[in-house]
Amino acid sequence: MSEIAPIDELPGGLKSGLEAVLMVADSPVSTARLAQIFDLPIARIATTLEELATEYDGKDRPRGFELRRVASGWRFYTRTDYADFVSSYVLDGQTARLSQAALETLAVIAYRQPVSRGRISAIRGVNVDSVVRTLLTRGLITEHPEIGDGGATLYQTTEYFLERLGLSALEDLPALSPYLPGVADLESLDSATYDD
């Protein structure tokens, strides 16, 4: 006979317990951490999370939120369909968008990490000191634990970056190759340069 877990004795049981914890989480919570909290097997937690996610996508009435697995765990998110309304409420006239320079710098860091400030500047062709400070302040990048050549600080993206993009891992970033010139294009650019 299996022993009843303390959470099973509360109204709503494990599903309600998971909702309560995830409702206050400000970053994704791993299945293993939730299993620790409720002192239950990871398999039971994983199954229950999947059941909850399916319930929220219900055919009768989908919710305005969804339970999504991103980065290193699970978290509630506003359903994409309602993003404009939520943005209007949260921003209340403020601009929270990143500048073009910040987006370009963030892209360099995301695809080349870990990367030094000097290398970012060389790729972008401009000084990136203030932009890097902005990205650090917003929690989208962090210092890499290792030191680069010549003692340079290296930068990498954060879990928050993945979370904001709705990605599970860096490998989920879109490939850059479709946006880069092909070998034939580069050869034609080179020959055009030398012909002048």
Q: What is the pLDDT of residue 177?
A: 65
Q: What is the pLDDT of residue 94?
A: 44
Q: What are the residue ranges in the chain where pLDDT is below 70?
A: 1-2, 90-96, 177-196
CATH architecture of the domain with range 100-176: Orthogonal Bundle (1.10)
> In the chain, which residues fall in CATH 1.10.10.10?
6-88, 100-176
pTM: 0.50
Q: What is the pLDDT of residue 127?
A: 86
How is domain 6-88 classified at the CATH fold level?
Arc Repressor Mutant, subunit A (1.10.10)
Q: What is the pLDDT of residue 181?
A: 54
Distance CA 89, CA 105 (A): 28
Q: What is the pLDDT of residue 92?
A: 56
Q: What is the pLDDT of residue 97?
A: 75
